[in-house]
Structure 1
Amino acid sequence: MRILITGATGFVGKQLVKSLGEHQLIILTRNVSNGKSLLGSHHQYWQTLADKPDLNDIDAVINLAGEPIVNKRWSNKQKKLICDSRWDITSALTQLIRKSTNPPHTFISASAIGYYGRQGNTPIDETSGFNAEFSHDICQEWENIALQAQSQHTRVCITRIGIVLGKNGGALAKMLPPFKLGLGGPIGNGEQGMSWIHIDDLIRLLCYLLSNPNLQGIYNATAPQPVSNAEFAKALGSALNRPTKITTPPLALRLAMGEMSELLTTGQFVLPKRTLAAGFGFQYRDINSALQQVIN
Protein backbone atom coordinates (compact mmCIF):
# COMPACT_ATOMS: atom_id res chain seq x y z
CA MET A 1 0.00 0.00 0.00
CA ARG A 2 0.94 3.64 -0.46
CA ILE A 3 0.46 5.14 3.01
CA LEU A 4 0.69 8.82 3.89
CA ILE A 5 1.81 9.39 7.49
CA THR A 6 1.82 12.64 9.46
CA GLY A 7 3.65 12.94 12.78
CA ALA A 8 6.09 10.25 11.62
CA THR A 9 9.10 11.81 13.37
CA GLY A 10 7.41 11.70 16.78
CA PHE A 11 7.71 9.09 19.52
CA VAL A 12 4.90 6.88 18.16
CA GLY A 13 5.43 7.77 14.51
CA LYS A 14 9.02 6.52 14.39
CA GLN A 15 7.95 3.10 15.67
CA LEU A 16 5.03 2.97 13.26
CA VAL A 17 7.29 3.67 10.28
CA LYS A 18 9.49 0.74 11.29
CA SER A 19 6.47 -1.56 11.50
CA LEU A 20 5.16 -0.53 8.08
CA GLY A 21 8.45 -1.03 6.26
CA GLU A 22 6.93 -3.42 3.72
CA HIS A 23 4.69 -0.64 2.38
CA GLN A 24 5.49 2.43 0.33
CA LEU A 25 5.45 5.29 2.82
CA ILE A 26 4.99 8.98 2.15
CA ILE A 27 6.12 11.06 5.10
CA LEU A 28 4.68 14.54 5.59
CA THR A 29 7.18 16.69 7.49
CA ARG A 30 8.25 20.32 7.43
CA ASN A 31 11.89 19.28 7.94
CA VAL A 32 12.73 16.72 5.26
CA SER A 33 16.43 16.48 6.16
CA ASN A 34 15.53 15.69 9.77
CA GLY A 35 12.95 13.16 8.59
CA LYS A 36 15.49 11.39 6.40
CA SER A 37 17.99 11.36 9.26
CA LEU A 38 15.47 9.80 11.67
CA LEU A 39 13.54 7.52 9.33
CA GLY A 40 15.77 6.85 6.33
CA SER A 41 16.08 8.34 2.86
CA HIS A 42 14.27 5.47 1.10
CA HIS A 43 10.82 6.89 1.91
CA GLN A 44 9.06 9.57 -0.12
CA TYR A 45 8.82 12.94 1.65
CA TRP A 46 6.32 15.78 1.32
CA GLN A 47 6.88 19.16 2.98
CA THR A 48 3.33 20.43 2.52
CA LEU A 49 -0.14 19.49 1.38
CA ALA A 50 -0.80 22.92 -0.08
CA ASP A 51 0.35 21.90 -3.57
CA LYS A 52 -1.62 18.62 -3.62
CA PRO A 53 -4.92 18.73 -5.54
CA ASP A 54 -6.12 15.39 -4.12
CA LEU A 55 -4.96 12.09 -2.61
CA ASN A 56 -5.95 9.85 -5.52
CA ASP A 57 -2.64 7.98 -5.47
CA ILE A 58 -2.78 7.25 -1.71
CA ASP A 59 -4.29 4.02 -0.33
CA ALA A 60 -4.38 4.98 3.35
CA VAL A 61 -3.64 7.94 5.63
CA ILE A 62 -2.44 7.72 9.24
CA ASN A 63 -2.60 11.08 11.01
CA LEU A 64 -0.51 11.38 14.20
CA ALA A 65 0.53 15.04 13.98
CA GLY A 66 0.18 17.45 16.87
CA GLU A 67 2.12 19.63 19.28
CA PRO A 68 2.87 17.63 22.48
CA ILE A 69 0.21 18.57 24.99
CA VAL A 70 2.63 18.59 27.96
CA ASN A 71 5.47 20.32 26.14
CA LYS A 72 5.00 23.76 27.73
CA ARG A 73 2.82 25.58 30.26
CA TRP A 74 -0.66 26.25 28.85
CA SER A 75 -0.58 29.93 28.00
CA ASN A 76 -3.27 31.14 25.62
CA LYS A 77 -0.65 31.07 22.86
CA GLN A 78 0.34 27.49 23.68
CA LYS A 79 -3.29 26.37 23.81
CA LYS A 80 -3.82 27.79 20.33
CA LEU A 81 -0.72 25.99 19.08
CA ILE A 82 -1.91 22.70 20.59
CA CYS A 83 -5.28 23.06 18.87
CA ASP A 84 -4.10 24.42 15.53
CA SER A 85 -1.37 21.79 15.16
CA ARG A 86 -4.07 19.10 15.30
CA TRP A 87 -7.05 20.74 13.66
CA ASP A 88 -5.29 22.36 10.68
CA ILE A 89 -3.50 19.25 9.38
CA THR A 90 -6.56 17.07 9.96
CA SER A 91 -8.74 19.58 8.10
CA ALA A 92 -6.30 19.68 5.18
CA LEU A 93 -6.27 15.88 4.96
CA THR A 94 -10.06 15.65 5.17
CA GLN A 95 -10.50 18.24 2.42
CA LEU A 96 -8.07 16.42 0.11
CA ILE A 97 -9.79 13.09 0.75
CA ARG A 98 -13.17 14.64 -0.07
CA LYS A 99 -11.75 16.18 -3.27
CA SER A 100 -10.36 12.85 -4.46
CA THR A 101 -12.18 10.87 -7.16
CA ASN A 102 -10.30 7.75 -6.01
CA PRO A 103 -9.79 8.57 -2.31
CA PRO A 104 -7.79 6.58 0.26
CA HIS A 105 -9.82 3.62 1.49
CA THR A 106 -8.70 4.21 5.11
CA PHE A 107 -8.14 7.29 7.25
CA ILE A 108 -6.81 6.57 10.75
CA SER A 109 -6.62 9.71 12.87
CA ALA A 110 -5.28 10.04 16.39
CA SER A 111 -7.20 11.49 19.28
CA ALA A 112 -6.72 11.11 23.03
CA ILE A 113 -8.56 9.95 26.13
CA GLY A 114 -8.55 13.61 27.11
CA TYR A 115 -11.82 13.56 25.12
CA TYR A 116 -13.56 12.24 28.24
CA GLY A 117 -12.23 14.91 30.60
CA ARG A 118 -12.05 14.12 34.29
CA GLN A 119 -14.27 11.17 35.17
CA GLY A 120 -13.61 10.16 38.76
CA ASN A 121 -13.23 6.48 39.61
CA THR A 122 -16.03 5.02 37.49
CA PRO A 123 -14.70 2.97 34.53
CA ILE A 124 -15.69 4.38 31.13
CA ASP A 125 -15.56 3.17 27.52
CA GLU A 126 -16.12 4.49 23.99
CA THR A 127 -19.84 4.98 24.64
CA SER A 128 -19.38 7.12 27.76
CA GLY A 129 -20.08 10.82 28.06
CA PHE A 130 -17.56 13.58 28.70
CA ASN A 131 -16.75 16.43 31.04
CA ALA A 132 -16.36 19.66 29.08
CA GLU A 133 -12.89 21.16 29.57
CA PHE A 134 -9.87 22.09 27.45
CA SER A 135 -8.68 18.52 26.79
CA HIS A 136 -12.16 17.52 25.63
CA ASP A 137 -12.53 20.58 23.42
CA ILE A 138 -9.25 19.74 21.63
CA CYS A 139 -10.25 16.16 20.97
CA GLN A 140 -13.89 16.73 20.06
CA GLU A 141 -13.03 19.16 17.27
CA TRP A 142 -10.08 16.99 16.18
CA GLU A 143 -12.37 13.98 15.84
CA ASN A 144 -15.22 15.88 14.21
CA ILE A 145 -12.91 17.17 11.49
CA ALA A 146 -11.54 13.68 10.79
CA LEU A 147 -14.99 12.09 10.69
CA GLN A 148 -15.99 14.46 7.88
CA ALA A 149 -13.77 12.34 5.60
CA GLN A 150 -16.08 9.34 6.09
CA SER A 151 -17.83 8.18 2.91
CA GLN A 152 -18.78 5.01 1.07
CA HIS A 153 -15.23 5.00 -0.31
CA THR A 154 -13.28 5.99 2.84
CA ARG A 155 -13.63 4.57 6.33
CA VAL A 156 -12.43 6.62 9.29
CA CYS A 157 -10.97 5.13 12.47
CA ILE A 158 -10.32 7.35 15.50
CA THR A 159 -7.91 6.13 18.18
CA ARG A 160 -8.32 7.74 21.60
CA ILE A 161 -4.82 7.15 22.90
CA GLY A 162 -3.90 6.86 26.57
CA ILE A 163 -0.50 7.28 28.24
CA VAL A 164 1.99 5.60 25.90
CA LEU A 165 4.71 3.59 27.64
CA GLY A 166 7.91 2.92 25.73
CA LYS A 167 11.66 3.41 25.74
CA ASN A 168 13.34 6.75 25.06
CA GLY A 169 10.33 9.01 24.85
CA GLY A 170 6.73 9.71 25.71
CA ALA A 171 5.38 10.27 29.18
CA LEU A 172 7.71 7.76 30.81
CA ALA A 173 10.80 9.73 29.81
CA LYS A 174 9.53 12.64 31.92
CA MET A 175 8.65 10.40 34.88
CA LEU A 176 11.84 8.36 35.11
CA PRO A 177 14.42 10.84 36.50
CA PRO A 178 12.86 11.32 39.97
CA PHE A 179 11.87 7.64 40.22
CA LYS A 180 15.41 6.53 39.39
CA LEU A 181 16.64 8.67 42.27
CA GLY A 182 14.12 7.14 44.65
CA LEU A 183 12.16 10.41 44.76
CA GLY A 184 9.05 9.17 42.99
CA GLY A 185 5.64 8.39 44.37
CA PRO A 186 1.94 9.09 43.97
CA ILE A 187 0.47 12.49 43.17
CA GLY A 188 -1.89 13.65 45.89
CA ASN A 189 -3.96 10.75 47.21
CA GLY A 190 -3.01 8.67 44.15
CA GLU A 191 -6.61 7.63 43.47
CA GLN A 192 -6.88 9.29 40.05
CA GLY A 193 -7.00 6.96 37.06
CA MET A 194 -4.10 6.36 34.67
CA SER A 195 -5.13 4.71 31.43
CA TRP A 196 -2.04 3.51 29.61
CA ILE A 197 -0.90 1.46 26.62
CA HIS A 198 2.44 -0.15 25.78
CA ILE A 199 3.83 1.36 22.59
CA ASP A 200 4.09 -2.08 20.97
CA ASP A 201 0.36 -2.59 21.47
CA LEU A 202 -0.43 0.87 20.11
CA ILE A 203 1.58 0.17 16.94
CA ARG A 204 -0.09 -3.23 16.59
CA LEU A 205 -3.52 -1.62 17.02
CA LEU A 206 -2.84 0.97 14.31
CA CYS A 207 -1.72 -1.81 11.97
CA TYR A 208 -4.77 -3.89 12.94
CA LEU A 209 -7.14 -1.07 12.07
CA LEU A 210 -5.29 -0.54 8.81
CA SER A 211 -5.59 -4.16 7.74
CA ASN A 212 -9.22 -4.80 8.74
CA PRO A 213 -11.50 -3.02 6.25
CA ASN A 214 -14.66 -3.73 8.22
CA LEU A 215 -13.58 -1.55 11.17
CA GLN A 216 -14.47 2.12 11.57
CA GLY A 217 -15.39 4.62 14.27
CA ILE A 218 -13.98 5.26 17.74
CA TYR A 219 -11.50 2.92 19.44
CA ASN A 220 -9.88 3.44 22.83
CA ALA A 221 -6.14 2.79 22.57
CA THR A 222 -5.69 1.84 26.22
CA ALA A 223 -4.81 -1.43 27.95
CA PRO A 224 -7.73 -3.42 29.44
CA GLN A 225 -6.48 -2.86 32.99
CA PRO A 226 -6.19 0.87 33.83
CA VAL A 227 -4.65 1.62 37.23
CA SER A 228 -4.68 4.34 39.84
CA ASN A 229 -1.80 6.77 40.01
CA ALA A 230 -0.66 5.09 43.25
CA GLU A 231 -0.64 1.66 41.58
CA PHE A 232 1.29 3.06 38.65
CA ALA A 233 3.91 4.64 40.95
CA LYS A 234 4.30 1.36 42.84
CA ALA A 235 4.74 -0.64 39.62
CA LEU A 236 7.30 1.82 38.26
CA GLY A 237 9.26 1.75 41.52
CA SER A 238 9.21 -2.05 41.44
CA ALA A 239 10.52 -2.13 37.86
CA LEU A 240 13.35 0.23 38.87
CA ASN A 241 13.88 -1.42 42.28
CA ARG A 242 13.42 1.96 43.95
CA PRO A 243 11.17 3.16 46.80
CA THR A 244 8.08 5.21 45.98
CA LYS A 245 7.35 6.90 49.29
CA ILE A 246 7.43 10.57 48.32
CA THR A 247 4.05 12.14 47.59
CA THR A 248 3.80 15.13 45.28
CA PRO A 249 1.26 17.71 46.54
CA PRO A 250 -1.23 18.78 43.84
CA LEU A 251 -0.70 22.42 44.83
CA ALA A 252 3.01 22.18 44.01
CA LEU A 253 2.18 20.87 40.56
CA ARG A 254 -0.39 23.60 40.08
CA LEU A 255 2.18 26.28 40.92
CA ALA A 256 4.77 24.71 38.62
CA MET A 257 2.57 23.75 35.67
CA GLY A 258 -0.60 25.80 35.93
CA GLU A 259 -3.77 24.38 34.37
CA MET A 260 -1.77 21.62 32.66
CA SER A 261 -1.22 19.99 36.09
CA GLU A 262 -4.84 18.80 36.01
CA LEU A 263 -3.76 16.11 33.53
CA LEU A 264 -1.80 14.57 36.42
CA THR A 265 -4.08 15.32 39.36
CA THR A 266 -7.28 14.11 37.67
CA GLY A 267 -7.79 11.21 35.32
CA GLN A 268 -9.96 8.42 33.97
CA PHE A 269 -10.21 4.64 34.11
CA VAL A 270 -10.70 4.01 30.39
CA LEU A 271 -11.63 0.56 29.05
CA PRO A 272 -11.08 -0.46 25.38
CA LYS A 273 -14.52 -2.02 24.96
CA ARG A 274 -14.91 -1.52 21.18
CA THR A 275 -11.23 -2.34 20.60
CA LEU A 276 -11.59 -5.73 22.29
CA ALA A 277 -14.92 -6.36 20.55
CA ALA A 278 -13.17 -5.75 17.22
CA GLY A 279 -10.96 -8.76 17.96
CA PHE A 280 -7.76 -6.96 18.89
CA GLY A 281 -5.61 -8.78 21.45
CA PHE A 282 -3.35 -6.84 23.80
CA GLN A 283 0.11 -8.25 24.45
CA TYR A 284 0.57 -6.12 27.58
CA ARG A 285 -2.59 -6.16 29.67
CA ASP A 286 -1.22 -5.33 33.15
CA ILE A 287 0.99 -2.46 34.24
CA ASN A 288 3.68 -4.57 35.92
CA SER A 289 4.54 -6.62 32.86
CA ALA A 290 4.45 -3.51 30.65
CA LEU A 291 6.80 -1.48 32.83
CA GLN A 292 9.13 -4.43 33.45
CA GLN A 293 9.49 -4.84 29.68
CA VAL A 294 10.13 -1.16 29.05
CA ILE A 295 12.60 -0.70 31.92
CA ASN A 296 14.45 -4.01 31.73
Structure 2
Amino acid sequence: MGHMRIAITGSTGLIGTALVQSLRADGHEAVRLVRREPTAADEVRWDPKGQEVDTAGLTGCEAVVHLAGAGVGDHRWTAAYKQEIRDSRVLGTRAIASALASMDTPPRVFVCGSAIGYYGDTGDRRTDESAPAGTGFLPEVCVAWEDAAKPAQDAGIRTVFARTGLVVARSGGAWGRLFPIFRAGLGGRLGDGSQYWSFISLHDHIAALRHLIGTEGLAGPVNLTAPEPVTNREVTAVMGRVLNRPTLFTVPAPALRLALGEFAGDVLGSQRVIPRRLLDSGFTFAHPRIIEAVRAA
Protein backbone atom coordinates (compact mmCIF):
# COMPACT_ATOMS: atom_id res chain seq x y z
CA MET A 1 0.00 0.00 0.00
CA GLY A 2 1.65 3.19 -1.22
CA HIS A 3 0.85 6.77 -0.32
CA MET A 4 -2.78 7.25 0.65
CA ARG A 5 -5.04 10.21 1.27
CA ILE A 6 -7.34 9.50 4.22
CA ALA A 7 -10.04 11.74 5.68
CA ILE A 8 -10.88 11.66 9.39
CA THR A 9 -13.74 13.10 11.46
CA GLY A 10 -13.23 13.53 15.18
CA SER A 11 -9.53 14.17 14.51
CA THR A 12 -9.07 16.18 17.72
CA GLY A 13 -10.24 13.33 19.96
CA LEU A 14 -8.04 10.73 21.64
CA ILE A 15 -8.22 8.22 18.77
CA GLY A 16 -8.34 10.77 15.96
CA THR A 17 -5.22 12.61 17.14
CA ALA A 18 -3.27 9.34 17.41
CA LEU A 19 -4.52 8.11 14.02
CA VAL A 20 -3.50 11.34 12.24
CA GLN A 21 -0.02 11.11 13.81
CA SER A 22 0.36 7.45 12.86
CA LEU A 23 -0.70 8.00 9.23
CA ARG A 24 1.53 11.05 8.78
CA ALA A 25 4.50 9.28 10.33
CA ASP A 26 4.20 6.70 7.55
CA GLY A 27 4.00 9.32 4.82
CA HIS A 28 0.23 9.24 4.26
CA GLU A 29 -1.88 12.34 3.86
CA ALA A 30 -4.48 12.94 6.59
CA VAL A 31 -7.37 15.28 5.81
CA ARG A 32 -9.24 16.47 8.90
CA LEU A 33 -12.96 17.23 8.73
CA VAL A 34 -13.77 20.21 10.95
CA ARG A 35 -17.07 21.79 11.96
CA ARG A 36 -15.81 25.36 11.63
CA GLU A 37 -14.26 27.38 8.81
CA PRO A 38 -11.07 25.56 7.72
CA THR A 39 -7.92 27.42 8.77
CA ALA A 40 -5.29 24.98 7.48
CA ALA A 41 -4.59 23.26 4.16
CA ASP A 42 -5.38 19.83 5.61
CA GLU A 43 -8.85 20.83 6.85
CA VAL A 44 -12.20 20.26 5.14
CA ARG A 45 -15.49 21.64 6.45
CA TRP A 46 -18.49 19.55 7.44
CA ASP A 47 -21.64 20.32 9.37
CA PRO A 48 -23.23 17.18 10.83
CA LYS A 49 -26.37 18.94 12.10
CA GLY A 50 -26.92 20.73 8.79
CA GLN A 51 -26.05 17.51 6.90
CA GLU A 52 -23.43 19.31 4.81
CA VAL A 53 -20.01 18.02 3.77
CA ASP A 54 -17.54 19.73 1.43
CA THR A 55 -17.12 16.70 -0.83
CA ALA A 56 -14.70 18.59 -3.11
CA GLY A 57 -12.21 18.48 -0.25
CA LEU A 58 -12.55 14.70 -0.10
CA THR A 59 -11.53 14.19 -3.73
CA GLY A 60 -8.85 11.55 -4.05
CA CYS A 61 -9.39 10.11 -0.56
CA GLU A 62 -9.08 6.33 -0.57
CA ALA A 63 -10.59 6.02 2.90
CA VAL A 64 -12.72 7.94 5.37
CA VAL A 65 -12.51 7.16 9.09
CA HIS A 66 -15.47 8.56 10.98
CA LEU A 67 -14.75 8.95 14.71
CA ALA A 68 -16.81 12.02 15.67
CA GLY A 69 -19.55 11.88 18.32
CA ALA A 70 -20.43 13.21 21.77
CA GLY A 71 -18.61 11.31 24.52
CA VAL A 72 -20.61 8.67 26.36
CA GLY A 73 -18.78 9.14 29.66
CA ASP A 74 -18.37 12.90 29.50
CA HIS A 75 -21.61 13.99 31.18
CA ARG A 76 -24.45 12.69 33.30
CA TRP A 77 -27.06 11.07 31.12
CA THR A 78 -29.79 13.65 31.30
CA ALA A 79 -32.56 13.26 28.72
CA ALA A 80 -31.04 16.17 26.79
CA TYR A 81 -27.53 14.70 26.81
CA LYS A 82 -28.82 11.28 25.75
CA GLN A 83 -30.45 12.99 22.79
CA GLU A 84 -27.12 14.69 22.02
CA ILE A 85 -25.20 11.38 22.20
CA ARG A 86 -27.69 9.83 19.81
CA ASP A 87 -27.96 12.78 17.41
CA SER A 88 -24.22 13.43 17.22
CA ARG A 89 -23.63 9.84 16.14
CA VAL A 90 -26.65 9.27 13.91
CA LEU A 91 -26.71 12.66 12.16
CA GLY A 92 -22.93 12.76 11.74
CA THR A 93 -22.82 9.27 10.25
CA ARG A 94 -25.75 9.95 7.94
CA ALA A 95 -24.13 13.21 6.73
CA ILE A 96 -20.81 11.53 5.92
CA ALA A 97 -22.35 8.37 4.41
CA SER A 98 -24.69 10.40 2.16
CA ALA A 99 -21.87 12.71 1.08
CA LEU A 100 -19.63 9.78 0.13
CA ALA A 101 -22.48 8.13 -1.77
CA SER A 102 -22.95 11.32 -3.81
CA MET A 103 -19.32 11.47 -5.02
CA ASP A 104 -18.35 10.56 -8.60
CA THR A 105 -15.33 8.65 -7.32
CA PRO A 106 -16.08 7.81 -3.70
CA PRO A 107 -13.47 6.43 -1.28
CA ARG A 108 -12.96 2.67 -1.42
CA VAL A 109 -13.59 2.21 2.29
CA PHE A 110 -15.64 3.89 5.01
CA VAL A 111 -14.53 2.96 8.54
CA CYS A 112 -17.29 4.05 10.88
CA GLY A 113 -16.71 4.18 14.62
CA SER A 114 -19.12 2.13 16.72
CA ALA A 115 -18.93 0.59 20.17
CA ILE A 116 -19.19 -2.76 21.95
CA GLY A 117 -22.09 -1.07 23.73
CA TYR A 118 -23.98 -2.62 20.79
CA TYR A 119 -24.13 -5.95 22.64
CA GLY A 120 -25.44 -4.63 25.94
CA ASP A 121 -24.62 -6.54 29.13
CA THR A 122 -23.41 -10.00 28.06
CA GLY A 123 -22.34 -11.27 31.49
CA ASP A 124 -19.43 -13.70 31.27
CA ARG A 125 -20.44 -15.09 27.86
CA ARG A 126 -17.71 -14.74 25.23
CA THR A 127 -19.30 -12.47 22.61
CA ASP A 128 -18.17 -12.08 19.01
CA GLU A 129 -19.55 -10.16 16.02
CA SER A 130 -22.28 -12.73 15.39
CA ALA A 131 -24.08 -11.73 18.62
CA PRO A 132 -27.31 -9.72 18.33
CA ALA A 133 -27.80 -6.19 19.67
CA GLY A 134 -28.60 -5.92 23.37
CA THR A 135 -31.35 -3.86 24.97
CA GLY A 136 -31.14 -0.43 26.54
CA PHE A 137 -29.92 3.01 25.58
CA LEU A 138 -26.40 2.26 24.31
CA PRO A 139 -27.34 -0.76 22.18
CA GLU A 140 -30.16 1.30 20.64
CA VAL A 141 -27.74 4.14 19.88
CA CYS A 142 -25.21 1.75 18.32
CA VAL A 143 -27.87 0.13 16.11
CA ALA A 144 -29.13 3.54 14.88
CA TRP A 145 -25.53 4.73 14.44
CA GLU A 146 -24.58 1.76 12.24
CA ASP A 147 -27.87 1.96 10.33
CA ALA A 148 -27.08 5.58 9.46
CA ALA A 149 -24.15 4.38 7.30
CA LYS A 150 -26.55 2.67 4.89
CA PRO A 151 -26.19 5.26 2.08
CA ALA A 152 -22.48 4.42 1.84
CA GLN A 153 -23.17 0.67 1.84
CA ASP A 154 -25.88 1.09 -0.80
CA ALA A 155 -23.41 3.01 -2.98
CA GLY A 156 -21.11 -0.03 -2.90
CA ILE A 157 -18.51 1.49 -0.56
CA ARG A 158 -16.88 -1.12 1.68
CA THR A 159 -18.19 -0.09 5.10
CA VAL A 160 -16.66 -1.35 8.34
CA PHE A 161 -18.05 -0.77 11.83
CA ALA A 162 -15.22 -0.53 14.34
CA ARG A 163 -16.95 -1.68 17.52
CA THR A 164 -14.55 -0.29 20.06
CA GLY A 165 -13.97 -1.46 23.61
CA LEU A 166 -12.41 0.51 26.49
CA VAL A 167 -9.28 2.16 25.10
CA VAL A 168 -6.38 2.02 27.56
CA ALA A 169 -4.71 5.42 27.30
CA ARG A 170 -3.35 7.85 29.83
CA SER A 171 -4.83 10.97 28.32
CA GLY A 172 -8.46 10.27 27.56
CA GLY A 173 -11.43 7.97 27.44
CA ALA A 174 -12.60 5.90 30.39
CA TRP A 175 -9.07 4.88 31.30
CA GLY A 176 -7.86 8.48 31.35
CA ARG A 177 -10.11 8.91 34.39
CA LEU A 178 -8.85 5.78 36.12
CA PHE A 179 -5.13 6.61 36.05
CA PRO A 180 -5.28 9.67 38.36
CA ILE A 181 -7.53 7.83 40.82
CA PHE A 182 -5.20 4.83 41.02
CA ARG A 183 -2.07 7.02 41.08
CA ALA A 184 -3.50 8.78 44.12
CA GLY A 185 -3.83 5.38 45.82
CA LEU A 186 -7.63 5.63 45.72
CA GLY A 187 -8.14 2.90 43.16
CA GLY A 188 -10.28 -0.11 43.81
CA ARG A 189 -12.74 -2.42 42.26
CA LEU A 190 -16.18 -1.29 41.20
CA GLY A 191 -19.06 -3.20 42.75
CA ASP A 192 -18.11 -6.85 43.26
CA GLY A 193 -15.43 -6.66 40.55
CA SER A 194 -16.69 -9.73 38.68
CA GLN A 195 -17.85 -7.80 35.60
CA TYR A 196 -15.77 -8.23 32.43
CA TRP A 197 -14.11 -5.25 30.77
CA SER A 198 -13.14 -5.49 27.10
CA PHE A 199 -10.09 -3.28 26.71
CA ILE A 200 -7.69 -2.44 23.89
CA SER A 201 -4.44 -0.47 24.05
CA LEU A 202 -4.38 2.82 22.13
CA HIS A 203 -1.51 1.47 20.00
CA ASP A 204 -3.49 -1.64 19.03
CA HIS A 205 -6.62 0.42 18.39
CA ILE A 206 -4.80 2.61 15.85
CA ALA A 207 -3.12 -0.42 14.27
CA ALA A 208 -6.53 -2.12 14.02
CA LEU A 209 -8.13 0.92 12.33
CA ARG A 210 -5.30 0.89 9.78
CA HIS A 211 -5.79 -2.87 9.34
CA LEU A 212 -9.49 -2.23 8.59
CA ILE A 213 -8.54 0.35 5.96
CA GLY A 214 -6.05 -2.00 4.32
CA THR A 215 -7.86 -5.35 4.47
CA GLU A 216 -10.08 -5.63 1.40
CA GLY A 217 -12.22 -8.52 2.64
CA LEU A 218 -13.37 -6.87 5.86
CA ALA A 219 -16.81 -5.25 5.91
CA GLY A 220 -19.55 -4.97 8.52
CA PRO A 221 -18.92 -5.17 12.26
CA VAL A 222 -15.41 -5.78 13.63
CA ASN A 223 -14.72 -5.79 17.37
CA LEU A 224 -11.76 -3.63 18.36
CA THR A 225 -10.95 -5.26 21.68
CA ALA A 226 -7.97 -7.26 22.96
CA PRO A 227 -8.29 -11.07 22.80
CA GLU A 228 -8.45 -11.60 26.58
CA PRO A 229 -11.08 -9.44 28.32
CA VAL A 230 -10.51 -9.26 32.08
CA THR A 231 -12.67 -8.77 35.13
CA ASN A 232 -12.74 -5.44 36.90
CA ARG A 233 -11.03 -7.18 39.84
CA GLU A 234 -8.09 -8.12 37.56
CA VAL A 235 -7.94 -4.60 36.12
CA THR A 236 -7.72 -3.24 39.67
CA ALA A 237 -4.88 -5.60 40.59
CA VAL A 238 -2.91 -4.78 37.43
CA MET A 239 -3.34 -1.01 37.84
CA GLY A 240 -2.12 -1.26 41.43
CA ARG A 241 0.87 -3.35 40.39
CA VAL A 242 1.94 -1.14 37.47
CA LEU A 243 1.47 2.13 39.38
CA ASN A 244 2.80 0.58 42.58
CA ARG A 245 -0.12 1.78 44.68
CA PRO A 246 -2.47 0.06 47.10
CA THR A 247 -5.91 -0.85 45.76
CA LEU A 248 -7.82 -1.31 48.99
CA PHE A 249 -10.88 0.68 48.10
CA THR A 250 -14.08 -0.78 46.78
CA VAL A 251 -16.63 1.54 45.29
CA PRO A 252 -19.99 0.02 46.16
CA ALA A 253 -22.49 -0.27 43.33
CA PRO A 254 -25.08 2.10 44.90
CA ALA A 255 -22.46 4.85 45.31
CA LEU A 256 -21.44 4.43 41.67
CA ARG A 257 -25.03 4.66 40.52
CA LEU A 258 -25.40 7.86 42.51
CA ALA A 259 -22.19 9.35 41.07
CA LEU A 260 -22.57 8.23 37.46
CA GLY A 261 -26.31 7.96 36.97
CA GLU A 262 -27.39 5.68 34.15
CA PHE A 263 -23.81 5.39 32.84
CA ALA A 264 -23.05 3.25 35.94
CA GLY A 265 -24.91 0.41 34.26
CA ASP A 266 -22.14 0.28 31.68
CA VAL A 267 -19.33 0.50 34.20
CA LEU A 268 -20.94 -2.20 36.35
CA GLY A 269 -22.26 -4.13 33.37
CA SER A 270 -20.22 -7.00 32.02
CA GLN A 271 -18.97 -7.39 28.47
CA ARG A 272 -16.58 -10.15 27.44
CA VAL A 273 -16.13 -9.25 23.79
CA ILE A 274 -13.79 -11.24 21.54
CA PRO A 275 -12.11 -9.77 18.42
CA ARG A 276 -12.86 -12.82 16.28
CA ARG A 277 -12.86 -11.08 12.90
CA LEU A 278 -9.64 -9.15 13.60
CA LEU A 279 -7.88 -12.37 14.60
CA ASP A 280 -9.34 -14.33 11.66
CA SER A 281 -8.12 -11.65 9.24
CA GLY A 282 -4.53 -11.95 10.48
CA PHE A 283 -4.28 -8.99 12.84
CA THR A 284 -1.57 -9.27 15.51
CA PHE A 285 -1.94 -7.50 18.86
CA ALA A 286 1.11 -5.78 20.33
CA HIS A 287 -0.60 -5.71 23.75
CA PRO A 288 -2.91 -8.72 23.99
CA ARG A 289 -2.85 -8.77 27.81
CA ILE A 290 -4.06 -6.14 30.26
CA ILE A 291 -0.67 -5.84 31.96
CA GLU A 292 0.94 -4.95 28.58
CA ALA A 293 -1.80 -2.46 27.72
CA VAL A 294 -1.52 -0.66 31.06
CA ARG A 295 2.31 -0.65 30.91
CA ALA A 296 2.14 0.77 27.38
CA ALA A 297 -0.12 3.58 28.60
TM-score by length of 1: 0.92
Q: Identity of aligned pairs, percent?
A: 38
When structure 1 is superposed on structure 2, of 125-134 and 200-209 the one drifting more is: 125-134
CA distance in 2, matches of 1:47, 1:217: 25
CA distance in 2, matches of 1:131, 1:215: 23
Residue 68 of structure 1: how far off its partner (Å) = 0.6
Task: Structure 1: give runs of 5+ residues left out of the alignment.
Answer: none
1:213 aligns with 2:212: no
Match of 1:24 in 2: 29
Q: Classify the secondary structure of the residue corresponding to 1:186.
A: strand
Match of 1:52 in 2: 54
Aligned residues: 288
The partner residue of 1:80 within 65, 80, 83 is 83
Q: Classify the secondary structure of the residue corresponding to 2:273.
A: coil
1:67 aligns with 2:70: yes
The partner residue of 1:156 within 139, 156, 159 is 159
CA distance in 1, matches of 2:41, 2:237: 43
Q: Classify the secondary structure of the residue corresponding to 2:122.
A: coil
When structure 1 is superposed on structure 2, of 93-102 and 203-212 the one drifting more is: 93-102
Relative to 1, partners in 2 of residues 1:28 and 1:169: Cα closer, same or farther, differing over 3 Å? same
TM-score by length of 2: 0.92
* CA displacement 1:188-245 (0-9 Å, x = unmatched): 1100110000000010011111112222121100000000010011111111001112
CA distance in 1, matches of 2:213, 2:23: 10
* CA displacement 1:40-96 (0-9 Å, x = unmatched): x55233254626367554321100000110111000100011011111110011111
CA distance in 2, matches of 1:292, 1:75: 35
1:43 aligns with 2:48: no
* CA displacement 1:11-45 (0-9 Å, x = unmatched): 11000000111222221112468xx7xxxx55233
Q: Classify the secondary structure of the residue corresponding to 1:20.
A: helix
CA distance in 2, matches of 1:26, 1:217: 24
State whether residues 165 and 291 of structure 1, in contact with CA within 8 Å, keep that contact through their aligned partners in structure 2: yes
Match of 1:202 in 2: 205
State whether residues 45 and 53 of structure 2, in contact with CA within 8 Å, keep that contact through their aligned partners in structure 1: no
CA distance in 2, matches of 1:107, 1:191: 36
CA RMSD of aligned residues (A): 1.8
Q: Classify the secondary structure of the residue corresponding to 1:72.
A: coil
CA distance in 1, matches of 2:134, 2:213: 30
For residue 279 of structure 2, what is the amino acid of its counterpart? L
When structure 1 is superposed on structure 2, of 45-54 and 208-217 the one drifting more is: 45-54
CA distance in 2, matches of 1:83, 1:289: 33
Match of 1:121 in 2: 124
The partner residue of 1:95 within 98, 120, 125 is 98
Task: Structure 2: give runs of 5+ residues left out of the alignment.
Answer: none
